[in-house]
Amino acid sequence: MSISRLLYVTEDIDRKPIPASAFVLLPYNKPDPNKPLNTLVWTHGTAGWGRKCAPSNHKDLYYEWQGPYALATAGYAVIAPDYAGQGSDIPQGFMYEAGFLHAADVAYGLIAARQVIGELLSKEYVVVGHSEGGMTAWRTNERLALPGQENLLKAGKFIGSVANSPALRPLDLIPESIRRANGGPIGDAVSVFFLQSLAGLFPGQFKVEDYVTDTVLARIPLVNQGCLLSGRALFAGLTADQLFKDLSWLKHPLVVDWQKRYNGAGPHALAAPLLVVQGIEDPLTYANNTEWDFNQTCSHFPDSRATLLLYPGADHNVAAQVPQLDYLKWIADRFAGVKVSKGCEIREVETVTTRYRNVGAFYSGAGGG
Ligand SMILES: *[C@@H]1O[C@H](CO)[C@@H](O)[C@H](O)[C@H]1NC(C)=O
Ligand SMILES: *[C@@H]1O[C@H](CO)[C@@H](O)[C@H](O)[C@H]1NC(C)=O
């Protein structure tokens, strides 16, 4: 494969230009020498805070075989935007879980890539991502159906998205994780990233120190030296009482408004077919929550062309990989022009055996930082 890195211009919540970064991964050869490469936009999951965690700047190109390596190996051109504020410095900082804005990063990242390697890229494109990126794949499908998105529509012909284990609405997921922990360790690093992001977006109005314990405050300088796995090591073993001194931020008007405008929580109509893949045993983005949002889309917009596949026994990291078999087929069908009929379908995948356990595999590239 070959990799290129780029800087491009995307937009903030006020539609003002801001810089962002991305990488492009191209396969070794073309599946069809006479045609451009079918084009995917890979939307990454939670990476961590700051530049060093931006996928384009990370030796594992977050998230390695869970996404970009597998997609490029399957013969696709992969455009992989870092979300604005992650690979480049902007006053707003790292805008975690801001799906409505990440959708713009998807479109403008692809538009920028076309400026240089346009002749290699198909006009049609599919967006695929996991976790924060699964949410982004879903939000892109929604944002492209909203009015006023002409500039984003210049990215090409959007023909569908794959939302894997989507982290859709943090204000529902975080209380659910606290409830399920039942006083024990929550397994949560994401709230700390989220609180840091809110503080960056609303300076002076929202302060991390108002809501987290001294334990968390003391560890924030450490977590910001590493990325997601450091965050897990530092925070996942803490209970709700050890993490938070006050949970009122989950109802703070700025945060509630954030979920509508920055995260883009709907339900909204879809611009193209949507495939959602979700592990039933996911302890981070819950199958019930994903299915609930899926149902909201389907009941408000019965003309949606949407499928939800549920994976028995799979947790968040295992579900990053096991659905590749199904979603690569789904993506190939979209490029082949196979129609998806109107309506929604929910199906549980049948496993070959029940003798498996959850072992999420993270591949770590050698060398680099
Ligand atoms: C499922 O998720 C929805 C939306 O977050 C929530 O309102 C509902 O209470 C959940 N149901 C169960 C059984 O957890
Ligand atoms: C979603 O809709 C299906 C079909 O109507 C229903 O069986 C299921 O219980 C719903 N799930 C949730 C979480 O609301």
pLDDT tens digits for range 41-79: 999 999 988 788 999 998 889 999 999 999 999 999 999
Ligand nearest to the CA of 295: 2
Residue 366 has pLDDT above 80, yes or no: no
The mean pLDDT of 278-305, rounded to a whole number, is: 97
What is the residue range of 182's domain?
Answer: 170-260
Distances (CA, A) of 367 to 21, 58, 66, 191: 22, 11, 20, 30
The mean pLDDT of 336-345, rounded to a whole number, is: 98
Residue 244 has pLDDT above 50, yes or no: yes
Is residue 158 domain-shared with residue 187, that is, in the same domain?
Answer: no
Pocket test for ligand 1, best of 292, 293, 295, 308 (most atoms within 8 A of CB): 292
- Position 6 in a domain: yes
Task: Tell me the C-alpha distance between 72 and 275, whole Å.
Answer: 20
Task: Tell me the C-alpha distance between 107 and 99, whole Å.
Answer: 12
Atom 5 of ligand 1, residue of closest alpha carbon: 289
Is residue 58 domain-shared with residue 159, that is, in the same domain?
Answer: yes
Compute φ and ψ for 358, nearest 5 degrees. -85, 110
Is residue 290 domain-shared with residue 329, that is, in the same domain?
Answer: yes
Overall pTM surpassing 0.95 (yes/no)? yes
Mean of pLDDT over the chain? 96
Is residue 160 domain-shared with residue 251, that is, in the same domain?
Answer: no
Is residue 80 domain-shared with residue 46, that is, in the same domain?
Answer: yes
Task: Tell me the C-alpha distance between 53 and 159, whole Å.
Answer: 30
Ligand 1 nearest atom to the CA of residue 293, by list position: 4
Alpha helices, DSSP H only, in 126-213? 132-143, 150-153, 170-181, 190-201
Of residues 364, 368, 349, 321, the one with CA closest to residue 71:
321
- Position 191 in a domain: yes
CATH code for position 105 = 3.40.50.1820
- Position 366 in a domain: no
Is residue 157 domain-shared with residue 177, that is, in the same domain?
Answer: no
CA of 266 to the centre of ligand 2 (A): 17
Token pair listed for 35: 């045609």
The mean pLDDT of 112-120, rounded to a whole number, is: 97
Is residue 152 domain-shared with residue 57, that is, in the same domain?
Answer: yes
Q: Which of 227, 260, 293 is the last residue of a domain?
A: 260
Is residue 279 domain-shared with residue 148, that is, in the same domain?
Answer: yes
Is residue 46 domain-shared with residue 6, that is, in the same domain?
Answer: yes
Residue 368 has pLDDT above 60, yes or no: no
Q: Which of 260, 281, 302 is the last residue of a domain?
A: 260
- Position 224 in a domain: yes
Task: Tell me the C-alpha distance between 29 and 204, whole Å.
Answer: 52
Confidence of residue 369 (pLDDT cuts 50, 70, 90): very low
Helix or strand run (H / E) with residue 310 = strand 305-311
Compute φ and ψ for 246, nearest 5 degrees. -160, 130
